[in-house]
């Protein structure tokens, strides 16, 4: 019985596997089998304002809990380091992601602020290149 060769299931065009939901330009690679494409992150003032508002909200919540939990002061220091980076979030995205992860971990030990810390991570990560 002769077997028929199945066609290759991976299309061979340059943007296969790259989903663009906005304006793109700059390097992006979506999957191991995809080819390089370009992406541009057009960061709006609204997105930056949303990130700043989420940081301000978390800061108010943490300051209200100052002295009650040892993690509060460290989380406030994390916010102090994250906030100035919103001016150029793409300049060192790896460090900013690391800082956001530390913030969320610290806030996990403080009752009532984890959701606000996750919102900070979400709004700031949305500003970063190649965020997922």
Q: Are residues 118 and 54 part of one domain?
A: yes
pLDDT digits (tens, 9 = 90+) for 46-88: 889 999 999 999 999 999 999 999 999 999 999 999 999 998 8
Whether residues 64 and 77 fall in one domain: yes
Q: How far apart are CA 66 and CA 116, in angstroms?
A: 16
Q: Residue 120 domain-assigned?
A: yes
Is 50 exceeded by the pLDDT of residue 38?
Answer: no
Q: What pLDDT score was predicted for residue 90?
A: 82
Q: 31 with 69, same domain?
A: no
- Kindly state whether residues 60 and 109 are assigned to the same domain: yes
Q: 91 and 31: one domain?
A: no
Cα torsion angle, 126, 128, 129, 132, sign: negative
Asked if residue 99 and residue 79 are part of one domain, the reply reads yes
Domain that holds residue 55: 45-125
Q: Residue 121: pLDDT above 70?
A: yes
3, part of any domain: no
Matching residue, tokens 């220091």? 77
pLDDT the model gives residue 55? 96
pLDDT digits (tens, 9 = 90+) for 41-52: 556 788 899 999
In a shared domain, residues 89 and 111 = yes
**Cβ-contact 42, 22 below 8 angstroms:** yes
């Amino acid at each position: 019985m002769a077997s028929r060769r199945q066609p290759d299931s991976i299309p061979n065009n340059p943007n296969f596997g790259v989903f663009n939901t906005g304006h793109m330009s700059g390097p992006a690679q979506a999957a191991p089998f995809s080819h390089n494409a370009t992406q541009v992150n057009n960061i709006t003032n609204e997105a930056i304002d949303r990130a700043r508002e989420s940081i301000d909200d978390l800061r108010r919540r943490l300051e209200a809990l100052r002295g009650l939990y040892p993690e509060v002061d460290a989380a406030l220091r994390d916010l102090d380091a994250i906030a100035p980076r919103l001016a150029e979030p793409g300049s060192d995205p790896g460090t900013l992601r690391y800082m956001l992860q530390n913030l969320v971990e610290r806030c996990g030990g403080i009752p009532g602020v984890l959701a606000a810390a996750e919102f900070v991570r979400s709004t700031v990560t949305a500003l970063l290149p190649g965020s997922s």
